[in-house]
Amino acid sequence: MISLSDVREARERVGDAARHTPLERSRSFSEMSGADLHLKLENFQRTGAFKIRGAMNRIATLSEAEREAGVVTASAGNHAQGVALAADRAGVDATVVMPKFAPVSKVKATRGYGASVRLEGVDYDEAQAYAHELEREEGRTYVHAFDDPVVMAGQGTLGLEIVEDCPDLDTVVVPIGGGGLISGVAVAIKEQLPDVRVVGVQAEGAASAGESLKKGEVHEIDSVDTIADGIATRSIGEQTLEVMREYVDEVVTVDDREIALALTLLLERSKTLVEGAGAVALAAVLSEAFEYDEGETIVAALCGGNIDLNRLGTVIRRGLVQMGRYLKITIDLKDRPGELERVSSIVARTGANVYAVHHDRTSRDVAVNAAELELELETDDAEHAADIVDALEAEGYEVEILS
């Protein structure tokens, strides 16, 4: 098991590469949650995520023979970039195996940092299996994304920074994928401030940690399904489980709707862009996934900012739905002149803004003398959206809410 001294030694190794990222109090989120809420902006880290910390520490401890043979790893994207950059800085050849459906931006960034990238498997676990084949065939050193004490110690340097920048904290909230980050952070914080509570957060569609802690052994789920691809692993690690049992106080889950809402609010309120995995800690606070006191000093770790732009629009749309700022409805109209204008005037009176209109006379589900009207509307909030639906129904229209 890693110790505080391991984390402090790691800081000496990674200091030239890993930035000391900002920790800022958020007035907006403090007011929304009732807590004294601070954000650890690890999305500003080099490569856009905390993974450079652990990767740099692991590469720095390779023997000369291991450096000559090169390294191999598997990653959904953030660890891939960390290993690629760390290896490039150390002059070590790196091969990275990524799932076939890894975000394009992360694949391109990993190649840009100098690594050879191979796309194998549908998720992290299948990519990892292939990476171990390369490890055996090519004699490379496997750099694990989380289940390695040297990697954990490197990630723990984030915890040292939290203690330095917010020594009066009561609770720290940290995302969990495989458990490497929370293991290192928990040791760094608990060994200095034992009364601080450490809360881990997993995405509902990739939640293995809670059951693992309950059983006392690693529990692997069959598949993962979440917008938080950076923490989409089927299980935590054997060694991270050992540390989490000792140092982590509680593990909670958040669903994709809550993650999307937190991500969207961060963009709007804090002008901060994170990926799904980077939003889960804030999502846990805002959704009250765990109990906390009024005014409690909480640090939420925003662990990464590498979101694929193709996914960003979809996630924001989901967030707007959760905020009541986006309404998609269908209405069956009589197929006669003036009906579309009538609906438009009702919508205009409510003060809604129209994103898109789709008018269809040919749908199989619509009567011959009718048409289906689909509207996408910009709304102020959930109450405003409800007022629009009420206004249309008051005029005799049957409204189906799609989102």
Q: Closest by alpha carbon to 147, among 243, 37, 15, 278?
A: 243
Domain boundaries, the chain: 4-49+148-318, 59-142, 325-401
d(CA 209, CA 175): 11
Q: Domain spanning 59-142 has what CATH number?
A: 3.40.50.1100
DSSP string, 280-332: HHHHHHHTTSS---TT-EEEEEE-B----HHHHHHHHHHHHHHHT-EEEEEEE
The predicted pLDDT at position 202 comes to 98
The rounded percent of the chain whose pLDDT value lies above 90 is 75
Average pLDDT estimate for 253-263: 96
The predicted pLDDT at position 210 comes to 94
Mean pLDDT of the chain: 93
Q: Closest by alpha carbon to 298, among 109, 25, 7?
A: 25
Q: Closest by alpha carbon to 17, among 71, 54, 70?
A: 54
The predicted pLDDT at position 363 comes to 62
Confidence of residue 364 (pLDDT cuts 50, 70, 90): low
First vs last C-alpha separation in the chain: 48
The predicted pLDDT at position 106 comes to 86
Confidence of residue 367 (pLDDT cuts 50, 70, 90): low
The predicted pLDDT at position 133 comes to 96
The predicted pLDDT at position 47 comes to 92
CA atoms within 13 A on the CB side of 240: 30
The rounded percent of the chain whose pLDDT value lies above 70 is 98
Least confident residue range of 218-232, 295-309, 321-335:
321-335
pLDDT at 365 over 70: no
The predicted pLDDT at position 366 comes to 61
Q: Closest by alpha carbon to 355, among 376, 331, 382?
A: 376
pLDDT at 315 over 60: yes
pLDDT at 22 over 90: yes
Q: What is the pLDDT of residues 116-169, one digit of tens each?
A: 999 999 888 899 999 999 999 999 999 999 999 999 999 999 999 999 999 999
Q: What is the pLDDT of residues 63-94, one digit of tens each?
A: 999 999 999 999 978 999 999 999 999 999 99
The predicted pLDDT at position 89 comes to 94
Q: Domain spanning 325-401 has what CATH number?
A: 3.30.70.260
Architecture of the domain whose range is 4-49+148-318: 3-Layer(aba) Sandwich (3.40)
- Tally DSSP H helices, then E strands, for the chain: 17, 14
> Comparing 4-49+148-318 with 325-401, is the CATH topology the same?
no
d(CA 129, CA 99): 11
- Higher-scoring residue by pLDDT: 356, 180: 180
The predicted pLDDT at position 110 comes to 94
Query: Tokens 């990767």 identify what position?
Result: 55
The predicted pLDDT at position 368 comes to 61
pLDDT at 386 over 80: yes
The predicted pLDDT at position 318 comes to 85
Confidence of residue 322 (pLDDT cuts 50, 70, 90): confident
Q: Closest by alpha carbon to 92, among 51, 47, 143?
A: 143
The alpha-carbon radius of gyration of the chain (Å, integer) is 24
DSSP string, 35-74: SEEEEEEGGGSGGGBTHHHHHHHHHHT--HHHHHH-EEEE
pLDDT at 361 over 80: no
